[in-house]
Structure 1
């Protein structure tokens, strides 16, 4: 039976995570699900994000996934805890706990972010939903209680990326605006986390307007390293993940649109299958 690793996102951004997972752990099979028909999640309520995410996780479980990565900061912030604590014991009961697992992108990042900062001041650039959830503030405090965390919501950045304007002159205004606002909260910020999987496509412009000495962190590499470590520590899950190097892609919206946009995020051409939930 094929038992791929599931990777879920509300749209295309999670493909930047999948790209890093494939580079780091190419032997595994992966199935990516983008809920493009209902994106964006960043502006939706906690309850709506939770219900949408749970529906997609259920589908990935039905496809044979033993492990699902929520490659979406909003879903990780608004849905992961409920799914792990309330739903997994029912959806995937096991003698020693749930026999299927769901992981997010927030914890792997917060476990290491303090290692990059010399001033003890870090900035978080994210969607409004992620910022409002305070998930990064809460999680960072667990690992680096003396770190000062400053957040900035960037509501225009995802539309810029998804409309292909991430490298256009028009993007400069919005990137500069939010970098300036973030740095205005603390000029001592020396580490900036891109806490949305769309934002790596704006990396060139972010570097242009961020302080020259600031470390800009994308999540893909961090999440990939964390998953590799997780699989080593959980052989009961790792041994059940199939390893044929296969990739498949699902979208809840137009496959034509998805395939065209996915190339930008994933870095190579793909062919998707439409999914009706």
Structure 2
């Protein structure tokens, strides 16, 4: 009997995960992918832990139902608030042959190599910052590293509404950067701990000195996935290698198709998926 070749699932609350998908697909173009954006309930940043967990689990199980043996949470808020519970409580009981990975640990494993001052800034949603996930994870790998965090609650809504080039975005960029830098003057690396934020890199560079490294997560997560698949042939062998990419959204598919072009070089023709809540 021929084995059904399956896809790598990539999940985000909206469009931001497409920046991670872009890097993954560039590094591993041979695999099949299914991207799911929960745009109808985005952004996740201000939702409670329980709500983010329930939303994330529902979307992960939907991707499992499409035959994905491996799902990447290309969303920092979902990785911070839902990943550990899914890995520890859901997978062993219900899906022992499936795997779910996030974006926080791969970033924490390498961030120490991007700073000379041993002080890094983390810009993220309220949910990611309040979870303290980055401080905890980075501390495991680089206990001497100082982590300074700043939430940026207005960035995702502005990006999702295609207003990231507006004067209003400049106002909120300077506000949050000023608050971050006021907490530590020796920051020389700033992690963009939200997959939406790479779209702001040109603007961010206008307000930061040249000695500060802006660290996006796409290539980091892609490199980590390459390593993971090398170490887990039992997962890699299940994956189809036709280079197919399918896109789904819980929101308006026409809006998703239009806005997705800002985040991904792939032509996107998404299918709408109604969710329970």
Mapping 1:119-268, distance limit 5 Å: 119-268=117-266
Residue 90 of structure 1, aligned match among 83, 90, 93 = 93
Match 1:51 to one of 44, 51, 54: 54
* Stretches of 4+ aligned residues off by more than 3 angstroms: none
Q: 1:73 corresponds to which residue? A: 76
Note the alpha carbon deviations across 1:93-145, whole angstroms, 9 max, x for none. Answer: xxxxx211000000000000011100000000000000000000000000000
Deviation at 1:170, TM superposition (A): 2.3
Q: Which runs of 5+ in 2 are unaligned?
A: none
Instruction: Give me the whole-angstrom Cα distance separating, in 2, the residues matched to 1:48 and 1:170.
Output: 29
Check the 8 A contact 2:158/2:164 in 1, yes or no.
yes
1:13 aligns with 2:13: no
Structure 2 counterpart SS, 1:201:
helix
In 2, Cα distance between equivalents of 1:242 and 1:31: 12
The alpha-carbon deviation at position 224 of structure 1 amounts to 0.2
Q: Taking structure 2 as the reference length, what is the TM-score of the superposition? A: 0.97
Q: 1:276 aligns with which of 268, 274, 277?
A: 274
SS of 1:41 mapped into structure 2? coil
Taking structure 1 as the reference length, the TM-score comes to: 0.97
The number of residues matched between the two structures is: 272
Q: What 5-or-longer segments of structure 1 have no aligned partner?
A: 93-97
Instruction: Give 1:168 shift.
Output: 2.1
In structure 1, the residue matched to 2:64 is: 61
Aligned residue for 2:263, secondary structure, equals helix
Work out whether residues 11 and 37 of structure 2, in 8 Å CA contact, stay in contact via their aligned partners in 1: yes
